[in-house]
Structure 1
Amino acid sequence: MADQKERRLLPVKLDTYKPLREVVFDAVREAIIDGVLRPGERLMESQLAEQLGVSRTPVREAIRKLELEGFVVMIPRKGAYVAGISLKDIADVFEVRAALEALATVLAAERITEEELEELERILVRKAEIIEQQEIELFIESDKKFHEILYRASRNQRLIQILTNLQDEVHRFRSVSLASPGRMRVALEEHRKVVEALADRDITRAEALAWEHIENAENSLMEAVRKKGDIS
């Protein structure tokens, strides 16, 4: 577990056309998703502004927007805190994600290109290598890319956006789930079957496999966080 010094935010880079408030929002949101800012941790405007190298105004605006998205809670007379995630929250997210990911997989079976299928195959090979190295963070990164390509293949921009947001909500606990013995290898095999169904343009099988994968991911995560005791 990283100590407080290791968990500092890095100064934001201004080599982008985004407004400063959006750059700061993205930086703080990413820090929450990646676990740099942990559930229940107080968000001090002055401290965040110093670490990010900006004034307090864009930090304040970012915190307000993060509250609207559910990543931050405001407690009267106490301030802003990183929102926790309960087992009920996870169940709700996965209930929606399973249905929408199944839809994305159905659409991908109809619309995926040969180039995208090859991208998915390459990720499967990379995942197998990562499993041998037992590098959980690299596996999570590859897993995220896998789903990004799958979502993209649906050719439905609104669906892509919703699914990406849902992924972000549980990303903070992915390392806990994948640390379970054998889970990375099982996830790889589940993805391999999905790719085979996509390549065969088998819509029915692809949909069933998508449901199975998300349900297994939920069960693994639920079991892991109960054992770890980080959420209620």
Structure 2
Amino acid sequence: MSSSSLKVVPQPVRRQVEDGLRAAIISGRFLPGDHLPDRMLCETFGTSRSVVREAVRLLEAEGLVVVHPNRGPFVAILSEEDATDIYEVRAALEALAGEGFALRATDEQRATLRAVYQELCDARADTPREALLDIKQRFYEILTAGSGNALATRMLGQLLIRNSQLRATSLSSPDRLPETVEEIGQVIDAIEKRDPVATGAACRAHVRAAAAVAIRILRERSSAA
């Protein structure tokens, strides 16, 4: 095959489709179990089949998409058992990151984390779920970066992608936002005291509370199906 017959797709295009598809799954535009045929995705994102398939492969590796032989890609369905496993590992990693942040974060990182937390405090019941998820994502990016543990940062980052559907599920509960603000506030208070033990405990408590809400909703959906 000659080089002139090869179509080179710029990386930014692939990244845009990948990010767009991930956001559509996290926000609930594409629901668990939804079929994601090539033609529909090409029309949705205005790009070629090869770009769409590459994005699907990347999200399959993240656990957000499953590809069934002879049927194609579908949005992954998380079971109650999957959610329990994810939250258990997330609690351990998030506590480790919080402990590291309390010990090693710079003054600038602490100030930035407080500023993002204030955005969460300012959110209202009608704040779009996508905006809330963006705030939480930035909070975790700062927390892990300031932890000084590159391995924990990488592992938690990968897990939070897998956990994104569950975070959206827990935030769908009308009472969850004020609870989240209070729980994250406990994390911030412990960080400002530079207390790694209390920070780790507050991180674990937050994750366990989110897990309880998400698993309850998953159980209710399963019973109603």
TM over 0.5: yes
Q: Give the TM-score taking structure 1 as reference length.
A: 0.81
Structure 2: distance between partners of 1:67 and 1:142:
25
Work out whether 1:188 is the aligned partner of 2:191. Answer: no
Tell me the alpha carbon deviations over residues 136-181 of structure 1, each in whole angstroms, 9 at most, x when there is no partner.
5233332222222111111233322321222222322434322434
Percentage of pairs with the same residue: 34
Calculate the aligned-residue CA RMSD, in Å: 2.5
Structure 1 residues 41-120: aligned runs within 5 Å: 41-120=34-113
One-letter code aligned to 2:196:
I
Q: 1:218 to 1:72 in 2, by over 3 A?
A: same
Is the 2:62–2:158 Cα contact (8 Å) retained in structure 1? no
One-letter code aligned to 2:61:
L
Alignment length (residue pairs): 216
Structure 1: distance between partners of 2:150 and 2:223:
34
Structure 1: distance between partners of 2:50 and 2:135:
36
Query: 1:228 Cα shift?
Result: 3.8
Query: 1:221 Cα shift?
Result: 1.2
Q: 1:216 to 1:115 in 2, by over 3 A?
A: same
Point out the more displaced range, 90-99 or 118-127.
Answer: 118-127
Partner of 2:121: 128
Is the 1:85–1:231 Cα contact (8 Å) retained in structure 2? no
Structure 2: distance between partners of 1:28 and 1:82:
10
Q: 1:73 to 1:231 in 2, by over 3 A?
A: farther
Q: Write 1 or 2 for the structure with the bigger share of helix.
A: 2
Structure 2: distance between partners of 1:230 and 1:149:
38
Choose from 17, 22, 42 the match for 1:29: 22
Q: 1:154 to 1:114 in 2, by over 3 A?
A: same
Contiguous gaps of at least 5 residues in structure 1: 1-15
Secondary structure of the 2:11 match is: coil
Secondary structure of the 2:47 match is: coil
Work out whether 1:165 is the aligned partner of 2:158. Answer: yes
Structure 2: distance between partners of 1:189 and 1:172:
22
One-letter code aligned to 1:135:
T
Partner of 1:11: none
Query: 1:134 Cα shift?
Result: 3.8
One-letter code aligned to 1:121:
R
Is the 1:105–1:207 Cα contact (8 Å) retained in structure 2? yes
Is the 2:169–2:217 Cα contact (8 Å) retained in structure 1? yes
Q: 1:136 to 1:20 in 2, by over 3 A?
A: closer
Structure 1 residues 148-163: aligned runs within 5 Å: 148-163=141-156
Query: 1:195 Cα shift?
Result: 1.1
Point out the more displaced range, 216-225 or 172-181.
Answer: 172-181
Query: 1:34 Cα shift?
Result: 2.6
Structure 2: distance between partners of 1:190 and 1:33:
22
Is the 1:127–1:142 Cα contact (8 Å) retained in structure 2? yes
